[in-house]
Amino acid sequence: MKKCLLSILMCLILLISLSGAVCASDTVVSGSIYFSSTLISSYMQKHGFIFIEEGSGDLVYAAPDAEITVTNKEDDIVGRGRTDTGGHFSISAPEEESYMIIVRFHEHEYKHEVPNSERDTILIRLGLFRSDEIDSWIDASIKSR
């Protein structure tokens, strides 16, 4: 009986130490997601979009609530998350040589490969979105309230 309890205790200690080693190898993949629009900032801010900067002929805004999926070289999902209202994300993932960041934002999908050395300074610009497309997001948001 004592040997059985001792064996169980040893197995528990081994499991705890192994799970601690796995957690210790995790890192943080983080950055920001932005998009551009020609709509004026007061209109966009009125509807909850955060103005970031003025680009060349357009305005840059944070991409709130974008779905972020992080995969490794083998296309295994190693992390998931969403951007906050400022377009920022921070996702715990295992240490890898590089990551594929998959961004889904208002029915658009973007893929961006990132080396490990840049995993905490990711900046993805999704490009220019047409005014009528953004208006449809805002209309849908108003109707769902």
Say what the alpha-carbon torsion angle 88, 90, 91, 92 is, to the nearest 10 degrees.
170
Q: Structure pTM? A: 0.77
The predicted-structure confidence for 7-27, as pLDDT tens digits, reads as follows 555 555 545 554 444 444 799
Distances in Å between the alpha carbon of 95 and those of 72, 74, 106? 9, 14, 29
Nearest 5°: phi and psi at 23? -65, -35
Mean pLDDT score of the chain, rounded to an integer? 86
| All domains of the chain in start order, with CATH | 27-143 (2.60.40.10)
In the prediction, which pLDDT does 109 show?
95
